[in-house]
Structure 1
Amino acid sequence: MASDSLPSTPRLTMRRFERDDLPVMVAYRSHPEVARLQSWTPEWSMVDAEEFLRRDRVIALGTRGAWTQVALEERSTGTVVGDLALHFLATQPHTVELGITLAPAHQRRGLGSEALRGVITWLFEQHGAHRVLAQTDARNASMRRLLDRVGLRQEAELREADWWKGEWTTLCIYAVLAREWATG
């Protein structure tokens, strides 16, 4: 990737996390409904946040095979409302996987759609991505609706493919190609 510059949207600034953001991140990541279908548990703490920041700071944005997190800051208030995860696949150099987490108080305001549209456009137009994909637990109806709304299509449903938090879960794979995005 050419630089660490990140896109902005009318209501959001996307940037790397800073130490001052961690209490807000802990508050939304430890919310039981947020953590329920994510890779962490509601016990996610300030210690976890400090470790996250320590690891994330040494990973350059766009490092192949690594996940990086991007803070979503509401421009009008300066408040971090969630985060966006980017995974530049090591085995497919022009494929990027993404994920998004929003604090409950900031859901259902269109911020998720705005963030995903902004970052997907940026990935295709500025960084030559060929394919952008997202995986979600089949039970995550809100995420599935969001992915549909922004223009990704469901490509697969992997039934009971992932042993997660003590149970078999079904994964849904969504994706969009650069040529599809361009014709929108």
Structure 2
Amino acid sequence: MDATVMARPVTTERLVLRLFTADDLDDMHAYQGLPEVARFLYRPPRDRGRCAEVIERIGKGTSWKEDGDNLTLAVCRRDVPGVIGEVQVTLSSAYARQAEIGWVFHPDHGGRGYATEAALALRDLAFQQLGVHRLFARIDADNTASERLCERLSMRREAHLIENDRDDRGWGSEYVYAVLAREVGSAGTE
């Protein structure tokens, strides 16, 4: 996949998933700058300058060929302008067709199913268009909302990593969730 493939946004019943543009800076900073959002990402909140740098990089899309290639999509409601969050998939092993999925949303949009709807669309894109065999998520063990989201994506918990990461609050633990393409009816990509 390259940026030209993503020229056409992915749409769901209520959402549009598309590449970020420079016009999305204020919206991204509105959630990426929040300490309660950064808490589960093991990094400090992003300032506007860092958000601009990130948008510059991710707005170009990806070639989806090499380990580390990443596709990050802005999540927008179809009925209201603005970005409410983002979903991303990162190629962790091109050879083994393994990819990591993740999401970050503004807390003001929580509890409405937007994260689930967007993550399901990205999961399906990863399996059906990007040729991913195994999709996994690494989540903070205290992030119960992401834990439930993984389960809604038909992922199973495969590991509990104890005190495997550290931030300014101390040690944190993670869960690893995963699902195979054939487990969600995407066997055509196998």
Normalising by structure 1, we get a TM-score of: 0.89
Query: CA offsets per residue over residues 56-75 of structure 1, 9 Å max, x none?
Result: 24552525313332100111
Q: Say if 2:43 and 2:167, in contact at 8 Å, map to a contact too.
A: no
- 1:162 aligns with one of 165, 177, 182: 165
Query: CA offsets per residue over residues 95-154 of structure 1, 9 Å max, x none?
Result: 110110111111110011111111111211222211111001111111111111221110
CA distance in 1, matches of 2:94, 2:129: 20
Q: Which runs of 5+ in 1 are unaligned?
A: none
Partner of 1:68: 71
Q: Which of 163-172 and 112-121 deviates more? A: 163-172
CA distance in 2, matches of 1:91, 1:167: 33
- 2:89 aligns with one of 65, 86, 91: 86
Q: Say which SS state the counterpart of residue 84 (structure 2) adopts.
A: strand
Q: Say if 1:59 and 1:66, in contact at 8 Å, map to a contact too.
A: no
CA distance in 2, matches of 1:67, 1:127: 11
Task: Provide the aligned length of Structure 1 versus Structure 2.
Answer: 182
Identity %: 32
Q: Which of 54-63 and 90-99 deviates more? A: 54-63
Partner of 2:19: 16
Normalising by structure 2, we get a TM-score of: 0.87
Amino acid in structure 2 at the alignment position of 1:123: A
- 1:99 aligns with one of 99, 102, 106: 102
Q: Which runs of 5+ in 2 are unaligned?
A: none
- 1:132 aligns with one of 131, 135, 140: 135
Q: Say which SS state the counterpart of residue 85 (structure 2) adopts.
A: strand
